[in-house]
Structure 1
Amino acid sequence: MPAVFIHLSDIHFGQEKDGGRITINDDAKEQLLQDAASEIAKLDTNATGIIVTGDIAYSAKYEEYEKAGKWLDRLAEGIGCSRLDIQMVPGNHDIDRNAITPITKFHLDAIREHGDSMLDMLLDDDVQREVLYERFAAYRDFSSGYGCALDVGGAYSADVVVTVAPERTVRFVHLNSALICSLKDDEGKLILGARQRVFTPIDGEEMVVLVHHPLNWLQDSDEAARYFKSRARVIISGHEHFPSLTIMGVEDNCDLLMLAAGATAPDDVDEKYTYKYNILTFDWDDESDALAVTINPRTWNFEMKRFERDTPFLEGRSERNVLGSPNFRKGAPPAKPILGMRDEQPQAQPVANPVTGSKEVDFSMTEDVRLVRLRFFRDIPEDGRRRILVGLNVIPADLTDRLDNTIEQRFFGKLVAQGRLGELSAAIDAAILESKSGDDE
């Protein structure tokens, strides 16, 4: 049951400042849509989902995520997956630098100086914690729509599991390496923190870590690497805009694949940096009871102005990499497939974080709920969501306190638990129609 994902990174919606550059980047994004659809069609299957390893936006503004959402919808439609099946982690461009106040900068500098102890102290304080997360306001709304909400307790969040064979699953772990990003970040100065470094291994399951910054950008890289080598099988990152692939033999029958992505839309396009993305297939290798990762790297042909296979990137190695997978081998033996039975299309399933025990809001994850959640948090701006909550008598009209993302998630969960999903959906429809009417005037 191969699971196929389109992997993007550093899309930078909103980075273009002149009409010519907008036209050029928009054309490259259009060509990517066509190339991805064509490549997936060759596999005679639909894609399982889309992975974005950070920097969806350029300045973390609502309108940038609005454009990103529309484009991602088109990509999902072209590759045959649901627009709900998009995973993401934040990058340094997914923080609003205008929201970095003097007190925020003081906190960030203190964390850099004192490390885990200072980070933990701030995360355990409800007020100070929100100072750290305020920079992510627009990203939090956008990612919440996809079920990839940041864990405000500082742990890794929004796990997604895909079954690649009976008793064999792949868990995608989402990390926030941008948590202490500031106005300018130096390599080796960021911190993941202990709450994100520690994973709980599960028999029969291999972990794929999604993170924006490669390990060399972290102060706690050595300690993070120890956990990753022990418990993860794949690390996928972005940020540096230049792709690389390393497979490390950790110990006998245990490997770690580290894939750094090129930028989907780099700041500047030249001989070294250009438009890139990957098509990744995760599968079970039955002969060695191991995770197999197939990489189809796609790069921009400058002369022909289209995407093509990035053959030099593979450096002569096979596109299919079978990784020593000790956690698979600890699981129950996979059942033998019935001869002639067609494999079902793998589905990406949201699951609880085994460290924190549950998500911030634990409501029924039916497709209808997920779709309304996407529309509420992604497609409705903050003031519009507030008007909806007032109209549904969830909050009083004279409430002056700002509703942060965590509170809004709780209100959303409350409406779902009360059986008011239909009312909320109708209110979203009305808000979108009103917004379009205002744009037409």
Structure 2
Amino acid sequence: MNIGVAVISDLHIGSGAKAKDFSLPGASEGVVDDYLSEFRKFVTAEGISADYLVVPGDITNSACKPEFELASERIAQIASCLGVPESKILFCPGNHDVDWETVKALSPLNHPEPQVIKSKYFNFYSEGALFSRNLSSATGRFDESPYLAVWEFDDVLICALNTSVFDGPDKKPHCGEVRPEQIAQIDKYLDGIDKTDKLKLFMFHHHPIQYLDSTFTEPDFSVMSNAVGLLDLLSKYEFDFVVHGHKHIPRFNMEIKDSGHPLSILCAGSFSASLDNKYYDAVGNRFHLVEFHDRCPQSHYARGSVKTWTHFVGGGWTPSLRRAGAEHQQNFGAFLPRAQLIEKIRIQFEEEFKSVQYLRWSDFISNYPEFKYFTSETLRASLKEVAKSMGLLLHEIDAFGLDKLVILKG
């Protein structure tokens, strides 16, 4: 398989960006002069490349035409840095990509909802911009029911849903939304697609999970309504990966739905928004590279890794730390009931510790690659159980990535 998908979300190009080159002339409060140049140097130094670039919403800050024009230019330049062809830049709108000024102007005229929706995405579909060009090769539109765009390539099927379509200045709360009738339409569409071995990726903007939030004390009412129905559908059709934005604090989760197919879900954080240190201390801006390696011969799950880097003003791009929401590398693509996984690890540990006093997890994975693609949190929980039963010590298991874990004989 060997497919690389770069992820940048919540750019907030315009008045919400941290960088002057991601802001409109004369209106910048950015604290970084040349963010694009910093990114290009980072990508070159790390030797990073990708086959696709996905942008799950909040591309602009206020959805005006000049912001979309600047966003079109900057995203194309980011793709060029990564070696991604323009035709393989995929995206969906976020709540900041809705033109509320147009909605306010039209509201006294009582136009039908479909007309208002078309109007508030007029700037998004501006002729000549990257977004209208690439949507011309997609099936479906973000301003027509069910508000789904689908791109199909030789190796990848990418679906993008507009979860901001029903938002507006007077709506309370400003949540993401997918309506039951949309889910039924999407179900019918996906049922009509021939079963394929292509990588299947689904993106939208709003978070589908009410994440544990230690940053804000106020309740978060912006989570997508009816998200469970959508995730059930994606599990039913065995999507390999789900990407969303909106929540500026990144996370990576695996969800097990009723159909039994696990969903790997990346909450991407923000690539270039200006983050308030009072709320986002140590979080920083994020760039992700999702690498799909192969499919498991037994389960047929797509296997791979998510690599994450963080940008801090003055510090540049550095590998992400676990304490800030998403550690630098996490794997995905394997699942077993915890009791079975614990027993498999315990059997191998008993054999290994017959001849050694300590064991590096990285060495263990090299010798027993069947454990490589379990998620980090699944492995942490299982390793703690094994250590407890065998009297082992797990050095700094909660502080750093598992690549630095050393298991000591008690």
Letter in 1 for 2:145: G
Tell me which of 33, 36, 39 is aligned to 2:40.
33
Partner of 1:137 in structure 2?
Answer: 122
What is the CA RMSD across the aligned residues, in angstroms?
3.2
Tell me which of 68, 72, 81 is aligned to 2:75.
72
Distance verdict in 2 for CA 1:11–1:154, change over 3 Å: same
1:48: Cα distance to partner? 1.0
Partner of 1:436 in structure 2?
Answer: none
1:273: Cα distance to partner? 4.4
Aligned residues: 297
CA contact (8 A) 2:235 2:260 kept: no
For residues 12-411 of structure 1, what are the structure 2 equivalents within 5 Å? 12-16=12-16, 22-39=29-46, 41=47, 46-101=49-104, 104=107, 128-141=113-126, 142=129, 143-147=131-135, 150-163=141-154, 169-183=155-169, 186=172, 189-194=175-180, 196-197=182-183, 198-199=186-187, 200-201=190-191, 202-205=194-197, 207-216=200-209, 217-231=223-237, 232-250=239-257, 254-270=261-277, 271-288=281-298, 289-302=300-313, 304-312=314-322, 319-323=330-334
CA contact (8 A) 1:188 1:218 kept: no
- Which digits, 9 at most, give the CA deviation of each residue in 1:117-152, with x for residues without a partner? xxxxx9xxxx54121221111112242212257244
Quote the Cα distance in structure 2 between the aligned partners of 1:253 and 1:222: 14
1:187: Cα distance to partner? 5.4
Quote the Cα distance in structure 1 between the aligned partners of 2:120 and 2:208: 23
TM-score (norm 1): 0.59
Letter in 2 for 1:150: R
CA contact (8 A) 2:143 2:165 kept: no
1:269: Cα distance to partner? 4.0
Secondary structure class of the residue paired with 1:191: coil
Letter in 2 for 1:94: D
Secondary structure class of the residue paired with 2:294: strand
Quote the Cα distance in structure 2 between the aligned partners of 1:83 and 1:156: 22
Quote the Cα distance in structure 2 between the aligned partners of 1:105 and 1:209: 36
1:317: Cα distance to partner? 9.3
* Structure 2 unaligned regions, length at least 5: 17-22, 210-222, 336-410
Secondary structure class of the residue paired with 1:137: coil
- Which digits, 9 at most, give the CA deviation of each residue in 1:263-320, with x for residues without a partner? 1122434215422121112232353432124211111145x52111113167679622
Quote the Cα distance in structure 2 between the aligned partners of 1:190 and 1:105: 24
1:244: Cα distance to partner? 1.0
Distance verdict in 2 for CA 1:68–1:102, change over 3 Å: closer
Partner of 2:216 in structure 1?
Answer: none
1:181: Cα distance to partner? 1.1
Distance verdict in 2 for CA 1:34–1:181, change over 3 Å: farther
Identity of aligned pairs, percent?
16
* Structure 1 unaligned regions, length at least 5: 108-121, 164-168, 325-441
CA contact (8 A) 2:256 2:263 kept: yes
CA contact (8 A) 1:156 1:173 kept: no
CA contact (8 A) 1:187 1:218 kept: no
Distance verdict in 2 for CA 1:79–1:37, change over 3 Å: farther
With 65-74 and 223-232 compared, the bigger mean Cα shift is at: 223-232
Secondary structure class of the residue paired with 1:77: helix
Secondary structure class of the residue paired with 1:242: coil
Secondary structure class of the residue paired with 2:87: coil
CA contact (8 A) 2:245 2:269 kept: yes
Secondary structure class of the residue paired with 2:164: coil
Secondary structure class of the residue paired with 1:66: helix
- Which digits, 9 at most, give the CA deviation of each residue in 1:25-44, with x for residues without a partner? 443343223323443x25xx
Distance verdict in 2 for CA 1:282–1:26, change over 3 Å: farther
CA contact (8 A) 1:156 1:176 kept: yes
Return the structure number with greater helix share.
1
Quote the Cα distance in structure 1 between the aligned partners of 2:327 and 2:38: 26
